[in-house]
Structure 1
Amino acid sequence: MVALIFGLLVALVLFWVVGAHNRLVRLRSEVIRQWSSVDAVWLRLLVRLQGGIAARQSLATEEDLPSLQGLQTVCDDLLDALTQVRLQPLEGETQKLVVQQHQLLVAEVRRVLLIVSEAVKPDLDIALSRMRQTLPAAVIPYHVAVAAYNEALEMRPAAWLARRLKFKPALRMDLSVASN
Structure 2
Amino acid sequence: MDLLDWDTLRPWLLRMAVLAVLLFWVVGAYNRLMRLRQALAQAWGQIDEQLTRRAAALEPLLAQLQEPMASEATTLAALAAALDKQQAAARAARARPASAVALQAWVVAEGELASPLARLSALVEQHAELAQSESIRPLRTALAEVTPNLAYARQTYTAAADTYNTAIEEFPTRLLMPVFRFRAAARV
When normalised by structure 2's length, the TM-score is 0.82
Matched, 1:59 2:74: no
Corresponding residue number in structure 1 for 2:163? 148
Structure 1 segments of 4+ aligned residues over 4 angstroms from their partners: 113-117, 119-128
Corresponding residue number in structure 1 for 2:112? 104
- How far apart are residue 125 of structure 1 and its match? 6.1
Give the counterpart letter for 1:24 in structure 2: L
In structure 2, C-alpha distance between the alignment counterparts of 1:34 and 1:110, rounded to whole Å: 26
Q: Structure 2: where are the runs of 5+ without partners?
A: 1-9
Give the counterpart letter for 1:141 in structure 2: T
Corresponding residue number in structure 1 for 2:103? 95
Corresponding residue number in structure 2 for 1:38? 47
Matched, 1:164 2:172: no
RMSD of equivalent CA atoms:
2.1
Q: Structure 1: where are the runs of 5+ without partners?
A: 174-180
In structure 2, C-alpha distance between the alignment counterparts of 1:110 and 1:125, rounded to whole Å: 12
- How far apart are residue 127 of structure 1 and its match? 6.6
Secondary structure of the residue aligned to 2:98 is: coil
Greater Cα radius of gyration, structure 1 or 2: 2
- How far apart are residue 90 of structure 1 and its match? 1.4
In structure 1, C-alpha distance between the alignment counterparts of 2:53 and 2:27, rounded to whole Å: 39
Give the counterpart letter for 2:164 in structure 1: Y
Secondary structure of the residue aligned to 1:161 is: helix
Secondary structure of the residue aligned to 1:4 is: helix
Give the counterpart letter for 2:67 in structure 1: S
Structure 1 residues 126 and 106, CA, compared in 2 at 3 Å: closer, same or farther?
A: farther
Give the counterpart letter for 1:87 in structure 2: A
- Identical amino acids, percent of aligned pairs: 27
When normalised by structure 1's length, the TM-score is 0.85
Alignment of 1:77-88 (within 5 A): 77-88=85-96
Q: Is the 8 Å Cα contact of residues 106 and 128 (structure 1) preserved in structure 2?
A: no
Q: Is the 8 Å Cα contact of residues 100 and 186 (structure 2) preserved in structure 1?
A: yes
